[in-house]
Chains A and B, each alone.
Chain A
Amino acid sequence: MESDPKKLFVALIRQNQGIVNSLCRLYATSNEEMKDFRQDVLLSLWKGFPQYKEESKVSTWMYRVTLNTLISIYRKKKRVLLTEPFSESVESLHFQNSGSDDDLLVLQQAIGFLKPLEKALVILYLEGYDNKEIGTMLSLSETNVSTKLNRIKTQLRKTVKTLQNESR
């Protein structure tokens, strides 16, 4: 077990950087913004690192801190809610399975049109957390999570349909 908290933190981030990068990318509209977001998220994670030891799963702690940081960045900036979806990541990284690139673009674009809190709800749902856990992580009631998720599903259905029609 590492005794230096900084070394332990770096190792933890490097093991789970897929989570931090994915979340920052879904909230950012450019590569530069993604890097800025990642910097803020890493600082928040570092500040909250002493509390992490009390929690059971690293990933749960990372999702909670990262998503709440990203949502608060948006609240501070008071940005336009409908953001331009960021699709550079798929284009810049040549993924071997070309057949699934369309799905990735649809996922990014569809989620990109959602509001910051709605994005967080979808991401946590896709991660397999139940409504109660999502509520705890985002300070929402279980009923509120369920209602919002149903609304998001309807909205996503429309967006995906539109995106698929546009790509044809």
Chain B
Amino acid sequence: MNLDKLKPTWEQFKVINAMDEMDESDILSCIEPKKQEYYFKIPKRIAQNALIFSFLIMTLSGGCSI
């Protein structure tokens, strides 16, 4: 197959895809680290664990009343 025949189509393909524009904020959001999200994950996990443990302590430490 003569790949050169596909060259104009490839150029056209690039033109079409250039229309799918990224603005400045889109690009910056990809390259800037999301610090806030990272810090929010830690308390969320701690809160989840605390809830599970407190539930287990309340239910399991009571023993059997019968």
Contact = CB atoms under 8 A, between A and B. Distances in A.
Chain A interface size, as a band, is 35 or more
B16 A107 contact: no
| Chain B contact surface mostly | helix
Interface string A1-29: 00000100110011001110110010000
A148 interface: no
Given A42-B31, A126-B7, A22 B13 contact: yes
By secondary structure, the A interface counts as helix
Interface in B10-55: 10, 12-22, 24, 27-28, 30-31
Interface of A: 6, 9-10, 13-14, 17-19, 21-22, 25, 38-39, 42-43, 46, 89-90, 93, 95, 97, 100, 103-104, 106-108, 122-123, 125-128, 149, 153-154, 156-157, 160
